[in-house]
Chains A and B, each alone.
Chain A
Amino acid sequence: MSEGMLADYPTLRSVAEHYNYWVTIFLMVSGLYIIVAKSNMIKTLIGMALFQTSVYLLYLSPAKILGATPPILAEGFERYSNPLPHVLILTAIVVGVATLAMGLALVVRIHEAFGTIEEDEVVDLVERDDAAE
């Protein structure tokens, strides 16, 4: 959408300017909802990854400057987008996949020990063991 088209409609313009933030917030809240509401552990880990990707979007959206180019210096370009959030998010992506791998390994071990990947059923089994002792 061009700037001129939206200039006459302040509300619409405001919505367009904040749309990125709203989708970010929707993703964040969805991740939170999955983590709290779902008892399947793999689904919970996917919820965690969703939350993480929403944070990537939260960092990258303000770094974009309209009319600028990616922060790779070259002749003939004057304005570049902000490079610092890109660096931070590069680190965050790699750390995110490391935590995901760790969580999945834990889930596999829990499946070996209890035969289930549902949190509710694991809690039941542990309580039954405690009662038997």
Chain B
Amino acid sequence: MVLLTLIAVITIAVIRVHNLFAVVVLFSAYSFLMASVMLVLDAPDVALTEAAVGAGISTVLLLGALHLTRTSETPPRFSNWLPLVVAGGIGAMLIWGTWEMPGFGLADTPVNTGVGSAYLERSYPETHVPNVVTAVLASYRGYDTLGEVTVVFVAAIGVLMLLRRPGEKED
């Protein structure tokens, strides 16, 4: 709960601060806190990935982009009451919706009684991998992971094509 409150505070700072370098550093801290929250939520695999990718690679990419562009933000010329009203309204409706949601940490919710428990029972006899997350990722949902790798590949090609200098010859 404390971690989640810290995350919310950092989010407000990300919105308010106009120096983009500070925003990037804050966002890196945000990712580390998010990784800690994931660890508390029993998801060590996801926490590792978030710490490496969210706090590491994303920060490096953002800093690289800042180096190639510039680090200050000019205040927007339109007033921000309309986005504030839209965001606040959507937030209020979503919070109204959570009153019907099952409480935190219960075992008999629809989420936890479905296919997840079936994976827990079946994965070891079928794959002999003790880490169920790995078993599901690499075995049961292997095509999903293949699609993910395809997305990363396409993104890498796209970045390379976009960042090629205009004067450079194609060969």
Contacts and interface: CB of A to CB of B under 8 A. Distances in A.
Contacts of B109: 62
Given A83-B133, A104-B62, 13 more contacts: A21-B95, A26-B8, A26-B91, A39-B76, A62-B111, A62-B112, A63-B112, A64-B104, A66-B106, A84-B116, A98-B152, A109-B163, A111-B70
Contacts of A89: 43, 46
Contact of B14 (A50, A65, A74, A84): A50
Interface of A: 1, 14, 16-23, 25-30, 32-34, 36-40, 42-43, 45-46, 49-50, 53, 56-57, 60-74, 79-87, 89-91, 93-102, 104-109, 111-112, 117-118, 120
A99 B155 contact: yes
A33 B94 CA distance: 15
A84 B38 CA distance: 14
A46 B27 contact: yes
Interface in B43-73: 43-46, 49-50, 53-54, 57-58, 61-62, 64-66, 68-70, 73
Contacts of A85: 43, 111, 116
A102 B103 CA distance: 38
Contact of B76 (A37, A42, A49, A111): A37
A101 B58 CA distance: 8
5 contacts: A16-B1, A23-B8, A37-B80, A43-B23, A46-B27
A46 B70 CA distance: 15
Contacts of B104: 16-20, 61-62, 64, 66
Interface string B148-165: 100110111011001100
Contacts of B137: 87, 90-91
B54 to A, nearest CB: 7
Given A16-B1, A25-B91, A34-B15, A42 B38 contact: no
B107 A68 contact: yes
Centre residue among B42, B44, B66, B136 by max chain A CB count within 10 A? B42
Contacts of B31: 53
Contacts of B123: 73, 83
Given A19-B4, A36-B83, A83-B136, A29 B43 contact: no
Nearest to A3: B105
